Structure 1
Amino acid sequence: MRRMLCSLGGAILSLFFITSTALAWGSATHAYIADQLDKKRGSKNSLEMYSTMAPDLFNYQFGSPFGSNLYLQTHFKFMNVSDRAQTGRQKAMSAGFVSQNDLWGADSTAHHASRTLSPAEGYVVTKAAVLAAEAPLPAGLGIPADAADELYHVFVEAGVDVLTKRLDPLLGQKITRSALARSWGFPYLLSRAYAADLAVYYGTEDLARRAIFAAEANFRKMMILYGVALAQDEATTIELLAEELADLAEGFLAPRGVALPPREVVHQIISLEIQRAMALCAPDFEKELAGTITSVDQQLMLNGITD
């Protein structure tokens, strides 16, 4: 177990601890949605599964003064990728990438308009509020309200990712395989799509291009590791998530002046929160994902996104 945890390093924390504006579906949920859209077969489907997770590749640049700007590029200027896709493989990659977007893609149902709960807010937003009310973090931890809100979102994302394994027990293996098999041309496609716009943040277009390549390479490694974690039995997956979040939560909360209790206590709290989030989402998450898949499929066709 500890060897597995050490191998995962900071990947799991990075997958979830992001700015509150970026919180939506987790990577495994996005991969499941892409797989179920069934727009591609074989290697093309693998390309789409990896690329649908890739809009989050900039979420893990902690401390960046323009992190939110990078997020906005990939989640709102997503057609940059589609517009530059020419070959069949590039179109497969762009279809996956575009499907996550925050306007009408999969993230919109997590953030803004649930398909099964309140249409006035996203599924993850609603469930995080319920989790905060029914399973609040211990007041003695002294976690500020804004940070606590972000944590509840994290727990819901993680919980839904684990639940999605029940719908597809091979999801972890698929994620790892898709990351390992990602086309060498994918970072070049991203570079053509975003280097010019990101030059203002990195200084030059060449530096922006290098930053894109580095971010994508790091993201790919994280997806490989995350797939390995999800490939374990459910109890072990929860343990891996809770252990890693407990190990690294200090880095997230320390700047806010929060001194956490011993690590084993934090691990227990996080494990219980993830399990509670799973219990809250278990009755309706599958229906929400089905509605999301239908909506995204329709929007892809309406926007002319095909292979």
Structure 2
Amino acid sequence: MKLLITGSAGFVGSHLAERFLSEGHQVIGVDNYLSGQRRNTELLRAYPNFTFVEADVSLGLPEVEGQLDWVLHFASPASPPHYQEHPIATLMVGAQGTQNSLELAKQHNAGFLLASTSEVYGDPLVHPQPESYWGHVNPNGVRSCYDEAKRYAEAITMAYHRQHGVNTRIIRIFNTYGPRMRADDGRVVTNFVHQALRGEALTIYGDGSQTRSFQFVSDLVEGIVRLMNAPKSSDVHNPVNLGNPDEFTMLDFAKQVRDTINPSLEIVHGPAAHDDPRQRKPDISRADALLGWAPRVKLTEGLAQTIAAFRQDQEVAQTPRAEADWATT
């Protein structure tokens, strides 16, 4: 196949691109490095079937010669510090970037997959969250630039499917972690692991009773591939939750990270983040029934791989020659 992946230099986008490249497919990566990392592009350049275009998908996508089989839209800041720093760009990539990607898929009669998010559920009043739940979202709060961008992206994706017959897929990604996350990602996994590796106290924002569910990136990629390969049906176009239903309080998760790296570290509390969801847990019964999918990587195994990768990143960043390269990522 020939696939175009927007956000190919990002955490999830780079893992997805590598999966397809390792299977012999052609991948065109597109990224403007607003939140992606140049080192991820360099890693993918090792594959002969990879080509890269540096571009802002909100402004347009490159012309593609020959037949394109899939367009996968993963471009967007995904962590609160990043999308709150770039709220307009986040809204634009969810709106105009999604439409540009859909137009390219329509032009080539290609499949289209949208990376949506569990954030469309907001601070949920239903627990766990099934795809049928419409959400409880603050439309003008500090997180709304991301939440509403993704909700709009889902709406226009379904509009292109209904009006133009585009073969669409929508995934709602729950908290995902693994190697290649940015050190300044700002989400709980990177915060806790990097604090622990530096020998610092682990900071919990709020009382620590809020819950999250964590899936390893390879499980997410497997779910994406299965959804792309699913036979066409009226049901396959509707959103699908991809996440791990094992639920942890932030306090329990902090203790697990601390005990894995340095049991002597303290756990401290800071003020709760604005509009921070109190509970987040996916109902994955639809993914199970439609795709035969469920996450396989246990938290202990995934954390071990993630911590090892973060340790290596720190060692590389501390070498004199690498410091300049690290600053560009």
TM range, normalised to the smaller chain? under 0.3
Q: Which has the greater radius of gyration?
A: 2
Which of the pair has the greater relative contact order for Cα pairs under 8 Å at 6+ separation? 1
Task: State the TM-score, normalized to the length of structure 1.
Answer: 0.23
Task: State the TM-score, normalized to the length of structure 2.
Answer: 0.22
Relative to its length, the structure with more strand (as a share) is 2
Relative to its length, the structure with more helix (as a share) is 1
